[in-house]
Structure 1
Amino acid sequence: MENFYLILVIVLFALAISDLIVGVSNDAVNFLNSAVGSKAAPKWVIFLMASLGVLIGATFSSGMMEVARKGIFHPDMFVFSEIMIIFLAVMITDVILLDMFNTFGMPTSTTVSIVFELLGAAVAVSIVKIKTAGGSVVMELSQYINSSKALAIITGILLSVFIAFTVGAIVQYLTRLVFTFKYRGPMKYFGSVFGGLAITAITYFIVIKGMKGSTFASIELANGETVQDWVKHHTGLMLLYSFGFWVVLIQLLRWIFNIKILKVVVLAGTFALAMAFAGNDLVNFIGVPLAGYNSFQAWVADGASNPDTFSMAMLAGKVGTPTYMLLIAGLVMIVTLIMSKKAKSVIATSLDLSRQNEGDERFGSSFAARVIVRGTTKFNKRLNSILPSAVTEGVGTRFQPHTYVAEDDQDPPSFDKVRASVNLVVASILIAIGTSLKLPLSTTYVTFMVAMGTSLSDRAWDRESAVYRISGVFAVIGGWFLTALIAFTVSGLVALLIALSGKFMVFVFVVVAVAMVIRTHTMMKKREKKIAAEDEDIEEADAHEQILEKSSKQVVKAIVASSQVLALGIQGFIKEDRNALKKVQEISDTFSKKAKRNRDRVYSTVTKLTDGTLETSHFYVQVMEHKREMAHALHFMLAPVIFHVENNHKPFTDEQVKELKEMTSQIDTFFNYVLHAVKAENFDELEQLIAKRDQLLTYLSKMEKSQIKRIKNKLVNTRNSQLFFKVISEIEHLLLHTVNLVKAHRDFIKYTRDTK
């Protein structure tokens, strides 16, 4: 029996390593998005500061480990075998859940995950225990669950969302009023004071307030006083010295090495937030396995007695966490931080919602977002009508947009270093306060909502983007609530099945967890390949031949996709092959998304075509428009065809099938001719191409007349006729736009080369 539980402890630690990897992939956004988004330093410098913060912060997390042991349930009400079921269910669920969110690029909360997983598993095991003893779940469940502490944690997490957004918005608004977007001037006079205050505030909350949770707080000094007591007695002096030291150091760095003040603040903030993250969130990854290990040690020390009777009351007391374990966990986090590709996906979501400049919006609009934007716009108009014009104009000048980024920068920062500094300072202080109060606040919630608050104050959410940004925030917050629900439910079900089916069910769920992680990893790789295969965007730095090459690739892919969808779609319809039609629909949807993406980026692409004439940009816009119309024609042709087959309506007659096959053969020949002309840039054959299109249009007209005869002879019904005419109509549109696409592409090539 002892060997069995030893294996379970090993499984717990294996899951902990996996959890560290997927958890850090999710939480890296918390402390990297500000530095990465503002491009405060080269990435290796940013990662170095973050890594140091994680490593040092790991030693501050010892006090937070108590949450995993007794924060959610009363351990004295459970025996060793039950505790192990709870811990295993939590870790299995956590790995699966976090990996799923990472794969879809959605930042979620590891704190909320672990809290609700512990709650769900504890409730499930408690119910089984109460029912087995013949008790009442309603009356006795409160004896097992530490409801007051759990409620305090959940309330703290929810309040942190509102507080973080509000504080971030207010601090950023005041900061921007002082420094404006032309911050380099004011920074000459107030920069060192601003930097000194920011880093001193970080020092106070990270080092002084967070001291009592660290592993070295109880170390005794020569005078018999502990480190924590010494810091407590000399707090004021330390803050004064810290402020003076940082003001002088920052000013000297500026004078001697010309190092920008805000870069120092952002890097110090990145270090501090990474440290706060490790101090607060490390418990989410290794707290449960360490609690399981401590339980196993206590059980073995008792002589490995009956695991079904050995009480876990020892977990209610204070149990120290070895520093070397915290450091090992910190090192795993650092390696993951540097290597994880999923972390980049999660960071991209946060930056898309907070960037200052225009660009593709990741999220669509929602009804709630539209209502909020409409209401806010009306309120703003009323407020401006009430306030004196001098006040509104004065404030407006402080928020006048300005950038120090060169116009030819291909990858500009998402926002400036002033906002990055506020993001980091406010978030690290709020998280450190929570850590000092031993409340496992969600670092994801805090940092994300601070970033949203600062972007709102910076007027990054203007009328062109606000509805999409707010919809994105709602989507992320909705995912957070979904996290809680899924974590509670899945963890409870896993614990219930293990408790009822036997402990060997643990290994079944471990296999399931591993399989799901592998599956999501495969999904991620497929997505990367898909993104790599997408059309390349035209960049300002591209030479003329590069521009032409990229444009030609877009046109060729449009023609190939059109040919495939039409031929395979008609073939699948004739054979009534639902699986084939689904595959065709995937090709059509992919083509449609690419066409929309290219058309939506027309504005940014045209601004990059600085060397070309107006005609160059004009014909590029036409290429994108015709490509989009081709995608529309295919979609509107394919949708009713699939609907017809899905609902098992009568197939076409033999005569109709014969006509469709002949039409498909002719169109296939036409598309091959088009493809050859585009690839070879042989536009002298355009007249022959138009003649072939006209022949096809004549044949389609003939098909329509044949259908009318069938209608008069009552050989077909209404549904048959509607579908037949719809297919013919959309194919006509497709052919017209295909030729227009080739014409526009020809003219784009001509005028682009004329500007060489």
Structure 2
Amino acid sequence: MDFYIFIVGALLLFAALDLIVGVSNDAVNFLNSAIGSRVASYRTIIIIAIAGVVIGSVFSSGIMEIARKGIFYPQHFSFEVILIVFLAVMLTDIILLDVFNSLGLPTSTTVSIIFELLGASFMAGILFTISKNEGINEIWKYINFESTNNIVSGIFLSVLIAFTAGAVIQYLCRLLFTFQFEDKLARYGAVFSGVGITSIVYFLLIKGLKGTTLIDKDTNAWIGENTWLILASLAVVCTLILFIVQKVLKVNPLKIVVLAGTFSLAMAFAGNDLVNFVGVPITGLLAYQNWAASGVPAGEYYMDYLAGNDVIVPNYMLLISGIIMGLTIWLSAKAKKVTETEVNLGRQDEGDERFKANAISRSIVNSSLMFSKAFGILIPRSVIKRYENSFEKKKIKEATETHDTPSFDLVRATTNLVIASSIIAWATSEKLPLSTTYVTFMVAMGSSLADKAWGRDSAVYRVAGVLSVIGGWFVTAFIAFTVSALFALILYKGGETATYILIAIVFAFLIVSHLRFNKKEKESKKTKDRLKILANGDMNTVQKYQSLVSSTVSEIATNYNLILEGLIGGDIVKLESANRALIDLEQHGYNVRSQSIKYIKTLSTNDKQTAQAIILSSDFIQDLAQSTKFLSDEALFYIKNLHVISDQEFLSDLKMLDRKMNHFFNLVLVSLEQTADEDIESIRTERDQVRSFINEKLDFQISNINRAKPSTKEGILQTNVFLQSRDIQAVLMRISKMFVKLYETRMNPSALQGE
């Protein structure tokens, strides 16, 4: 019995862990619209979502239908085998969801739990059948194929419904409001918002209360009989209140709908998805209590109890679950990671695309463009012009707005939330365990498509991203089935020893995953911090880019020094450290170039000097990073493959090169930080000395290759060190020259005309 108590305790602990990893992934479902539209501060959005999750968990019906008998027939399993199935499921679920969280990809907790139960129970059924010496055909009696088929079919049908509803309703809303919706908002805003809140309340409360244990049957029956009266009254009251709020308090009613929708969607999520996280452990606990009272051996006690009784979770357990989910939303960095993926795929403007285009996404976009052209021939020109006017987007005028603009506006955020929460709440009231991830993601993708967010510049990348996420859903099902079946096999055959080892391995995996994720997030934060200088309101644009270039030059100088020291001492640790840093700097160069184009779009057409400074700065950063990275690759390859620098004179030249380049790096950095005190001629003189030294040594190395005939790899390394160093010092000179001259021009504008 002690072993079974341990397993039940482990299941309850895994319930808490599963809530954490599950909500980290599913938080995207109710956060993406509010965060993407920046309707309020991140803190305010999170607090509203937490309130919705906690209240929604209590309003959950609490019937753990999937875990009880939705996927398999528990009456054919003994208590001992049931615990194996449940433990295999929880171990798999925690690992699977944590992997997707670390990758920043939304997946379906509903699909994962279904296929985990299917895989574990299928394997347990085979093993149990063999142990009882029954015929192989008997294994089919364990699986509830009809229920499983209905659940899976319903989930994938919801994908089509959600995408279609998102696209059609958003298209109609955009035609009504347009992207310049301020004028239309004054006329229709209160009515539109009132209808939105009414639909939210209907599906969330009226339909949602249908299965809850918090109200009595008489009250529930009265609500059902007077639904339309309640809705009509609610619509009128909401519209009047929002009209007053809009006219008197000057508050955008769409903001209220988005915040209310965030609360409602979080509440609907908790009601629908709670079963995915705590259903299996709590069902295991109740099964244990039933078995313990029977006095029958665990291997002989069959689970008729689970087949014939509703497994209803006490309200206090639901509340505890809600609190854990709320804390996770507040604290989880992985939840933010997953949310970023969905928001970026649906954002209205162009920018850095996370996903790469592929042949399938290009084919889909090409086919859509051809269809659009063919369809356009049949539509009158006047209709097309009106349509294009409705979908004309706002022009961004201020450069400062490019850093923190919303990914999409309040009209789309409202559509996303109202449609998604309505579909999910309705499904919950009908006891249908649809995937909240699938619904919210496909609604968001449908509405972004209707909004023309996927233009020619971004369509192939966005479609590739959507295909990657959807592909991940199928991968979820396959991995969930396979891994849970494998774990069930290990637990069944390995007994207590295998159970302890497997649990220890899962905990070790979670610890390692957490450490790796934190390391990646620190690196990601460093990348973002490099661009923070561009948001500094106390500096003009040229100063921002000068500071950005200065910090990059400083990092390049550090890593250049590491490369030469690594070569001189054969130190692979230094070389690998420099190589990792330069990979980040190379990506930083691409990010700066992308940001630079956005900046130039916002400048006055007469401000050519600033535009030139911006584009040249990004080009300098890329050139420096690429040249140093190329040198790093050569050096790392040479030392990593155990090659030795045999030429002592070359080693001596490396030390001298390191000193001269270090001095020149410092001189350029001083010119960038104290531009007013610098004279370009003194910098040029120092540059000439460094360049002469490099050219002299390069000529010597070329002659030495002909004379001493070193190995090909050593010859390549020797020449490349000087070639790349020459490129680096040339870029450094151009950087210093440009910013010193820009400073002189700002101080003396007539100097530019006199040249």
Give the aligned residue type for 2:87: L
Post-superposition Cα deviations, 1:49-82, rounded to whole Å, max 9, x if no partner, equal 4334323322443355111111121111211122
Q: Please say if residues 623 and 744 of structure 1, whose CA atoms lie closer than 8 Å, have aligned partners that are also in contact.
A: no
Partner of 1:314: 305
Post-superposition Cα deviations, 1:531-561, rounded to whole Å, max 9, x if no partner, equal 444314344661138974x545533433333
- In the alignment, the residues of structure 2 paired with residue 42 and residue 678 of structure 1 have an alpha-carbon distance, to the nearest angstrom, of 37
The Cα of 1:162 is off from its aligned counterpart by 2.8
Unaligned 5+ residue runs, structure 1? 222-226
Partner of 1:702: 696
The Cα of 1:639 is off from its aligned counterpart by 2.8
Post-superposition Cα deviations, 1:221-246, rounded to whole Å, max 9, x if no partner, equal 3xxxxx44444433343333333343
Give the aligned residue type for 2:471: G
Q: Please say if residues 64 and 280 of structure 1, whose CA atoms lie closer than 8 Å, have aligned partners that are also in contact.
A: no
The Cα of 1:581 is off from its aligned counterpart by 3.3
Partner of 2:710: 716
Q: Please say if residues 535 and 553 of structure 1, whose CA atoms lie closer than 8 Å, have aligned partners that are also in contact.
A: no
Matches within 5 A, 1:486-497: 486-497=479-490
Give the aligned residue type for 1:306: P
Q: Please say if residues 559 and 581 of structure 2, whose CA atoms lie closer than 8 Å, have aligned partners that are also in contact.
A: yes
- In structure 1, which of residues 459, 472, 482 is the aligned counterpart of residue 465 of structure 2? 472
The Cα of 1:401 is off from its aligned counterpart by 1.4
Q: Please say if residues 63 and 311 of structure 2, whose CA atoms lie closer than 8 Å, have aligned partners that are also in contact.
A: no
Give the aligned residue type for 2:430: L
Partner of 1:69: 68
Post-superposition Cα deviations, 1:698-719, rounded to whole Å, max 9, x if no partner, equal 3333334334434444723555
Unaligned 5+ residue runs, structure 2? 750-755
Q: Please say if residues 683 and 746 of structure 1, whose CA atoms lie closer than 8 Å, have aligned partners that are also in contact.
A: no
Give the aligned residue type for 2:593: R
- In the alignment, the residues of structure 2 paired with residue 593 and residue 190 of structure 1 have an alpha-carbon distance, to the nearest angstrom, of 46
User: Are residues 1:729 and 2:723 paired?
Assistant: yes
Specify the SS of the correspondent of 1:362. coil
- In structure 2, the CA distance between the partners of 1:750 and 1:148, relative to structure 1 (3 Å rule), is farther
- In the alignment, the residues of structure 1 paired with residue 47 and residue 356 of structure 2 have an alpha-carbon distance, to the nearest angstrom, of 36
Give the aligned residue type for 2:530: D
The Cα of 1:589 is off from its aligned counterpart by 0.6
Q: Please say if residues 24 and 337 of structure 1, whose CA atoms lie closer than 8 Å, have aligned partners that are also in contact.
A: yes
Q: State the aligned residue count.
A: 745
Partner of 1:401: 393
Q: Please say if residues 23 and 110 of structure 1, whose CA atoms lie closer than 8 Å, have aligned partners that are also in contact.
A: yes
Partner of 1:115: 114
User: Are residues 1:148 and 2:112 paired?
Assistant: no
Q: Please say if residues 92 and 480 of structure 2, whose CA atoms lie closer than 8 Å, have aligned partners that are also in contact.
A: yes
Q: Which moved more, 1:696-705 or 1:72-81?
A: 696-705
- In structure 2, the CA distance between the partners of 1:697 and 1:44, relative to structure 1 (3 Å rule), is closer
- In structure 2, which of residues 293, 298, 322 is the aligned counterpart of residue 330 of structure 1? 322
Q: Please say if residues 107 and 346 of structure 1, whose CA atoms lie closer than 8 Å, have aligned partners that are also in contact.
A: yes
Partner of 1:438: 431
Partner of 1:85: 84
The Cα of 1:573 is off from its aligned counterpart by 4.5
Partner of 2:507: 514
- In structure 2, the CA distance between the partners of 1:199 and 1:677, relative to structure 1 (3 Å rule), is closer
- In structure 1, which of residues 195, 206, 209 is the aligned counterpart of residue 207 of structure 2? 209
User: Are residues 1:423 and 2:422 paired?
Assistant: no
| CA RMSD after TM alignment | 3.1
Give the aligned residue type for 1:129: F
User: Are residues 1:453 and 2:449 paired?
Assistant: no
User: Are residues 1:351 and 2:351 paired?
Assistant: no
- In structure 2, the CA distance between the partners of 1:478 and 1:747, relative to structure 1 (3 Å rule), is farther
Partner of 1:224: none
Give the aligned residue type for 2:152: I
Q: Please say if residues 680 and 740 of structure 2, whose CA atoms lie closer than 8 Å, have aligned partners that are also in contact.
A: no
- In structure 2, the CA distance between the partners of 1:668 and 1:82, relative to structure 1 (3 Å rule), is same
Partner of 1:177: 175
Partner of 1:598: 592
Q: Which moved more, 1:229-238 or 1:735-744?
A: 229-238
Q: Please say if residues 612 and 752 of structure 1, whose CA atoms lie closer than 8 Å, have aligned partners that are also in contact.
A: no
User: Are residues 1:246 and 2:238 paired?
Assistant: yes
Specify the SS of the correspondent of 1:716. coil
Q: Which moved more, 1:200-209 or 1:166-175?
A: 200-209
- In the alignment, the residues of structure 2 paired with residue 166 and residue 586 of structure 1 have an alpha-carbon distance, to the nearest angstrom, of 45
Q: Please say if residues 15 and 277 of structure 2, whose CA atoms lie closer than 8 Å, have aligned partners that are also in contact.
A: yes
Post-superposition Cα deviations, 1:469-510, rounded to whole Å, max 9, x if no partner, equal 222222222332332233233323333222222234434333
- In structure 2, the CA distance between the partners of 1:62 and 1:503, relative to structure 1 (3 Å rule), is farther
- In the alignment, the residues of structure 2 paired with residue 403 and residue 251 of structure 1 have an alpha-carbon distance, to the nearest angstrom, of 29
- In the alignment, the residues of structure 2 paired with residue 664 and residue 142 of structure 1 have an alpha-carbon distance, to the nearest angstrom, of 73
Q: Please say if residues 16 and 285 of structure 1, whose CA atoms lie closer than 8 Å, have aligned partners that are also in contact.
A: yes
Post-superposition Cα deviations, 1:622-650, rounded to whole Å, max 9, x if no partner, equal 22211210111122333344445555668
Q: Which moved more, 1:537-546 or 1:696-705?
A: 537-546
The Cα of 1:608 is off from its aligned counterpart by 6.9
Q: Please say if residues 544 and 753 of structure 1, whose CA atoms lie closer than 8 Å, have aligned partners that are also in contact.
A: no
Q: Please say if residues 94 and 113 of structure 1, whose CA atoms lie closer than 8 Å, have aligned partners that are also in contact.
A: yes
Partner of 2:102: 103
TM-score by length of 2: 0.90
Give the aligned residue type for 2:298: P
Q: Which moved more, 1:673-682 or 1:517-526?
A: 673-682
TM-score by length of 1: 0.90
Q: Please say if residues 54 and 330 of structure 1, whose CA atoms lie closer than 8 Å, have aligned partners that are also in contact.
A: yes
Partner of 1:200: 198
